[in-house]
Chain A
Amino acid sequence: SQQGEEDPQALSIQEGENATMNCSYKTSINNLQWYRQNSGRGLVHLILIRSNEREKHSGRLRVTLDTSKKSSSLLITASRAADTASYFCATDPFRGSYIPTFGRGTSLIVHP
């Protein structure tokens, strides 16, 4: 079973619009990470937010974390066609080991 679940499963927007995707998880975490995957390629790390942080920014990315609700959101502002990819959140639910555990992802399509 997968720890994190992203929502929505698919998102289609126009270039310039903002894209928001959410991640819910089940067990307590030390941190939560977001990754991006272009079609048929490996995953690329985007941003890490620690359990004691509520919000983090990196360029056009904004991540929030609500540990009371066990949820996180990733906002991509002023989206570009090149942002088209799948986005995954990763948590570390295994006790005693660090094993990044992924949800099913959100497939984002940005139309030029």
Chain B
Amino acid sequence: DTGVSQDPRHKITKRGQNVTFRCDPISEHNRLYWYRQTLGQGPEFLTYFQNEAQLEKSRLLSDRFSAERPKGSFSTLEIQRTEQGDSAMYLCASTIPGGKRSDTEAFFGQGTRLTVV
């Protein structure tokens, strides 16, 4: 296992279509995060999972966005009825809880770049 893997790396879709991205975290990592990053900005938190439980989803940008992690391993992020404003880099990260609440680094995938035309 060489790290966090995201697929596809690039996606071009027409406005109104649905898209789904996949993230495979580092195998022993039970926390998985999704972020969105637009040009010139930092990653913006969307949602995260602890194993298969989605613990925080209030930051998902709209009800068109949904995420799953059915078996506590890989995760998918779906965007329905895409809009041009959804064009961005979607990043996935995973961590393993440290001894203290936040004493861990997040390992990021290379991201999926979405272009909505």
Residues of A near any B CB (own CB < 8 A): 2, 30-31, 33, 35, 40-45, 48, 50, 88, 90, 92, 94, 97-105
**Contact yes or no, B40 A31, CB < 8 A:** no
Report how many A-B pairs have Cβ atoms within 8 Å: 70
> Interface size bucket, B side?
20 to 34
Q: Which of B91, B100, B108 sits near A30, CB closer than 8 Å?
A: B100
Mask for B24-49, Cβ within 8 A of A = 1, else 0?
00000001010100001111110010
Report the Cα distance A102→B1, complex, angstroms. 26
Interface residues of B (CB under 8 A from A): 4, 31, 33, 35, 40-45, 48, 55-56, 89, 91, 93, 95, 97, 100-111, 113
Distance in angstroms between the alpha carbons of A56 and B109 in the assembled complex: 26
B108 touches A50 (CB 8 A): no
